[in-house]
Amino acid sequence: MSIQWYPGHMAKAKRQVSEQLNKVDIVIELADARIPFSSRNPMLEEMVGNKPRLIALTKSDMADAAVTDQWIQAFQQAGFEAAAIHALKNKGAKPIVDKAKQLTAPMFEKMARKGIRKRAIRAMVVGIPNVGKSTVINRLVGRKSAKTGDTPGVTKAQQWLKVGNDMELLDTPGILWPKFDPPVIGYRLAATGAIKDEILDAEEVALFTLNVLKERYPKALKERYRLDDARVEGGMELFDEIGRKRGCLQAGGYIDYEKAADIILSDLRTQKFGRVTLETPQDMEDILQETT
């Protein structure tokens, strides 16, 4: 499956982000803790350049905590500051401000030596659609300033928002990139809902999801669908078994794969399998080695 989706408003947003970068002190890049590598826009490397950057892993309450710790360590080893946040319970919002202060301290010290009066940190918040950007911003600001929703592409325009006296945030629309390569990145984005469902082959995405769960979270998979050990074979056999278990049958006893796929993806996105992470730092290393 090759996923290509680059709506006009995203191309416009990319231009806007590039134009506004010289107005900010730091970039806060949000990534989904369930897919920390696949949910990072590779175009940001060129766009952001040497600007200080903080990687904030959103939806950490939905991700495997042990794997999230691995990701934070991996990002720090790569030279990035990183933090896991749980915006809905207001966990992790303060560390974002604290780390932003830490990263911009050298700049403000330089300004002070020149006699320039200190001001609030100007930060740009960037991330792909449906990464939880608006929710994080609302927690930081302390009021409902940014629109939130489960549908990718809710935020369409840029706006400045105040975080107390310490920071000003520039919200930006979610930006995807023209083509996901290798295809596994597209599968991961699709499984977590970063791409609109109507433009995908849900059955392929569900099959991918099942194979990941079978390999890494077999107990959760078996418990959710009450599968016998002999039934967790993977591939279409597993897909068929879940379809039968969930009553996804058409006339003649054939499996309704579309209905079964919807159930599987909904179960993943609503945490019916518990806390699940679809990729590890080793997965990232494997992709980077293949593409270099």
Binding site, by residue number, is 130-135, 174
> Of 115, 125, 121, whose CA–CA distance to 102 is shortest?
121
Q: Which of 156, 109, 226 lies closest to 10, judged by CA?
A: 156
Note the Cα 132 to chain centre separation in Å.
8
Measure the N-to-C terminal CA separation of the chain; round to a whole number of Å. 22
Known binding site for GTP: residues?
130-135, 174
Edge-to-edge strands, sheet with 121-126: 81-84, 53-58, 26-32, 121-126, 167-171, 159-163
* 173-201 as b/e: b if 16+ CB within 10 A: bbbbbeebeeebbbbbbbbbbbbeeeebe
